[in-house]
Amino acid sequence: MATFLIVPAAGSGARLKSPLPKALVPVLGHAILSWTLEALAPIPFDRVVVAAPPDRMPDFERLLRGKAAVVAGGATRSASVRRGYQALGAHPDDFVCIHDAARPLITAEEAQSVLVAAKASGAATAGTPIVDTVKRVEGERIVATIDREGLYAAGTPQVFRASLLGRAFDTGREATDEAGLLELLGVAVTAVPVSRWNVKVTSPEDLELVEALLKRRRKD
């Protein structure tokens, strides 16, 4: 039974408004992708596959220097993950961990806790309990307040037994994350709480936050 890592890194980062693909944007002198892989390095994955923008493959290969296989990503995050999965040629009993390149603040301990949960149940995702009061808004008008009890913001890592993930892909259905695809199949997915630091670098202010936190961790 092998454990693989897929890192979707093929997005352009439109909301970050950077000329570089988001995964290559430097923070404290290193690409976001490098920080992310460094954070997960203590976990002995059997193979790591990074999905890169098809027109930037050489840049990613140069950065990774053989430490991970690079595959051409697709037009959407889920298409990129699928391409990474195809490249693995996983056995049904293997486990596949998916972690966004854009989440460099994940810790190996947190990723390990998601792996442990998935190995027990077949499927698990990291998430953070919602702390704000959640409103549904139409136009400018609030139309509902949603009870936040039990609400989680789903993030990554997401870890699945390959047989379940493969079956979910085979349905050809779409969901916003792989956990959602498995839910459509009726598979129970375990929610594993992780720290709110596990932000996804999305907008320029997230970069400031990530830089400050990485600086602090480097000193610790």
**Measured from the CB atom, is 3 or 36 closer to Mg ion?**
36
Q: 102 and 201 in contact (C-beta within 8 Å)?
A: yes
Q: Which of 18, 76, 107, 113 binds ligand CTP (CB under 6 A)?
A: 76
Chain-centre distance for alpha carbon 212: 21
Which residues lie closer than 8 Å to 146 by C-beta, 6 or more apart?
134, 135, 136
Residues 6+ apart with CB under 8 A from 40: 5, 99, 106, 108, 111
Q: Which residue is nearest to ligand CTP (CB)?
A: 11
Instruction: Work out which of 5, 10, 117, 118 binds ligand CTP, going by CB under 6 A.
Output: 10
* Cβ 2 to Mg ion shortest distance, Å: 29
Residue 80 CB contacts under 8 Å (≥ 6 apart), including other chains? 8, 9, 10, 11, 51, 73, 74
Give the nearest distance from C-beta 220 to ligand CTP in angstroms.
25
Let me know: does 126 contact 156? Beta carbons within 8 Å: yes
Which does residue 120 bind out of ligand CTP, Mg ion, none, counting CB within 5 to 8 angstroms by kind?
Answer: none
Q: Give least dist CB 110 to Mg ion, A.
A: 22
Q: Is 12 in the site for ligand CTP (CB under 6 A)?
A: yes
Interacting residues toward ligand CTP by CB under 6 A: 8-15, 22-23, 51, 73-77, 80, 100-102, 200, 202
